[in-house]
Amino acid sequence: MKSRAFMIALLVLSSLWSVFAQEFTATVDRSRVAMGERFELTFTLNGSGSGKNFRPPQFTDFLVLSGPNQSTNWQFINGKTSASITYIYIMQPRAEGKYTIGAASVELDGKTLQTKPLTIEVTKGSPQQAQKQGGQQGGDDISQQIGDNLFLKASVDKAKCYQGEQVTVTYRIYTRVNIANYGINKVPALTGFWSEDLEVPKQIQLTNEVINGKQYRVGVLKKSALFAQRSGTLEIDPMEVECVVQVQSRRRSNDFFDQFFNDPFFGNVRNVNYKVASEPLKINVQPLPMDNIPPGFNGAVGKFSMETWLDKKETKTNEAVTLKVKISGRGNLKLLEEPAVSIPPDLEKYDPKISDNITKQGNLIAGTRTYEYLLIPRHAGEQKIPSFPFSFFDAEKKSYVTLNSPGFSLAVARGNEISGAPVSGITKEDVKLLGQDIRFIKSGNVSFRRRGDTLFGTPAFYALAASPVFAFVGFVLFMRKRERVLSDVLAVRNRKARKIAQQRLSSAKTYLNAKKREDFYNEVSRALWGYVSDKLGIPPADLTIDSIRASLEQKGVQVDTINKLSSTFEQCEYARFAPSADSTEMDTMYNEAALLISTIEDHVR
């Protein structure tokens, strides 16, 4: 009887222990802090498992310098495993007074646990003394130790630039602790800029740098080329990185076995998640000078050269020739607009084929953009292509530069006459096939003869007799050709996607100049949705942000470009119903849409 009562009591105590073992507490390293002083807020979950859905309180009265930085400790005692999970914040008060930190909550084993509110008193004091005091009292706190030895810094090669001039921003991590892994949590929005990621080594190359007497290991995480789309003061938002930091666990016991197992040989370290963010930066963007703007200037900024050539000096009517214009240099080549090429009316000109060869190594965007014009002479004689200018603003010299192409002379002899006009969007290969489409009407003397009275034995009789066979063969050939055409619809849509999108953007440009806000954003949205539908081969009914993202990722398009495209879709929808829209914002949207199409075109063939 006694043994049975003992077992019941033991079970009750065991159940009570399991209940009390599950607790969620909140603590601060000090309840009284001075203005400018940092303090540490820790939420600790003790239990037999890991919690989920951690919800911190609102920190409206405090500035969160770091956190939540999560760490986990596992213990194995008397055959049972228990876990202790901590969420650590480094905080700083915003103003003097007495404040309450509300309750945090977490779910564990199907139950919701909450902490008790805490009271913090903020007093006046010397920030230097308070910081020193905080360092002494919290010196053993892991989160504060990491914060004193790990930070992220953003720097630019120039804080003042012209609109359209390249600014290079570099994100470096400075550390005096061991980082096992890292990941970029938040990429800057870069509102008002067009950005291109520059190449950095996949394996971080660390260098040493001494700051305030401390030696740090420094590595470049990300580097981007920025091109301001408008003038004024623009801000580069912070970038956030989450690091997995390896720290040495400390034991308070002086037990022999604790000292033995604390030996570094046994790798007594634990991983702590810690978030760091760069400080925001401001760039002063100056507008381009209004004096001495050359005629035909279209906004190009950088340092460029121009080459032009004609692939032949002699040709025949209705035979294609090619005029190439190659722009080389440093600057955002994807922002360049088509040069103002003047072609005589007797030469039929088609929309140019644009090809880019751009490098992103080092700190500069450089390369070439080539415009290939297809020209078809319609009349014999000497055709002259006059010289045309290309102007840009040299930010280093702070002046405009105009380059002029040479003039060309094309001797055109009479060739085969072809009736009909080619359709828009024709390529050079299409032009060569025009002569096969329609046979010429034969001219000359016509002879007549009297028809016989009987049909049998005449050529007409044999033609009628064979007509069913010819009709059947013709029908089979027609169906095969129709199948080939239908199967190639996706390829045709892919090939003409950019041209159609550019036509829609031209319409959007007209609405932009007329300040028709709703029509402008509708046309930009149509251009982008239509382009990705044609380029990716996704039917409009199946076109969603998720399907576009998945298809672009599969084709190797950068995540930044995909995010920019998604953001542009959202901005178009929002701007259509916004009460007003700045013409500068509309101009920025137009440039971003054109650049997105150009960027995707480089990756998706």
Q: Tens of pLDDT along 188-215?
A: 878 889 888 888 887 888 899 988 888 8
Cβ atoms of 7 and 1 closer than 8 Å? no
Of 344 and 20, the one with more pLDDT: 344
pLDDT at 273: 84
- Tell me the fold of 150-286: Immunoglobulin-like (2.60.40)
**CATH code reported for the domain at 489-603:** 1.20.120
Across 53-71, average pLDDT: 80
Across 278-287, average pLDDT: 93
CATH number 2.60.40 given to 302-431? yes
Q: Is 95 left (phi over 0), alpha (psi -120 to 50) or beta?
A: beta
Q: Smallest Cα–Cα separation from 44: which of 116, 101, 102?
A: 116
Which of 120-124, 231-235, 253-257, 349-353 has the least mean pLDDT? 253-257
Strand 39-47 to strand 80-93: parallel, antiparallel, or no bridges (unpaired)?
antiparallel
What is the edge-to-edge ordering of all strands in the sheet holding 52-55? Answer: 52-55, 105-108, 111-114
Q: Phi/psi at 504 (nearest 5 deg)?
A: -70, -35
pLDDT at 595: 86
Across 409-434, average pLDDT: 57
Q: Is 19 strand, coil or helix? A: helix
State the average pLDDT for the chain.
Answer: 78
**How many other β-carbons are positioned within 10 Å of the β-carbon of residue 491?**
10
pLDDT at 308: 95
pLDDT at 138: 40
pLDDT surpasses 70 at 558: yes
Q: Would you list the domain boundaries of the chain?
A: 20-138, 150-286, 302-431, 489-603
Alpha-carbon separation of residue 263 from 146, 267, 464 (angstroms): 22, 8, 104
Place of tokens 């460029």: 304
pLDDT at 305: 95
pLDDT at 318: 86
pLDDT at 109: 76
* Digit-coded pLDDT (tens) for 321-351: 999 999 999 998 888 888 889 899 889 888 8
**CATH code reported for the domain at 20-138:** 2.60.40.10
HEC readout, 121-185: EEECCCHHHHHHHHHHHCCCCHHHHHHCCEEEEEEECCCEEECCCEEEEEEEEEECCEEEEEEEE
Residue type, 135: G
Of 496 and 505, the one with more pLDDT: 505
Q: Smallest Cα–Cα separation from 391: which of 478, 530, 296?
A: 296
Give the CA diameter of the chain: 136
Alpha-carbon separation of residue 494 from 316, 423, 557 (angstroms): 32, 17, 16
Q: Smallest Cα–Cα separation from 402: which of 292, 246, 258, 239?
A: 292
pLDDT at 265: 43
pLDDT at 225: 92
Locate the DSSP E strands across 17-149.
23-28, 32-34, 39-47, 52-55, 62-77, 80-93, 97-101, 105-108, 111-114, 118-123
Cβ atoms of 174 and 209 closer than 8 Å? yes
Q: How far apart are CA 409 and CA 384, in angstroms?
A: 5
pLDDT at 213: 85
Q: How far apart are CA 556 and CA 549, in angstroms?
A: 11
Of 109 and 597, the one with more pLDDT: 597
* Structure token digits, residue 409: 């002379």
Fold match between domain 20-138 and domain 302-431: yes
Across 449-458, average pLDDT: 56
Which of 175-184, 292-301, 521-530, 573-582 has the least mean pLDDT? 573-582
pLDDT at 425: 41
* Structure token digits, residue 429: 């290969």
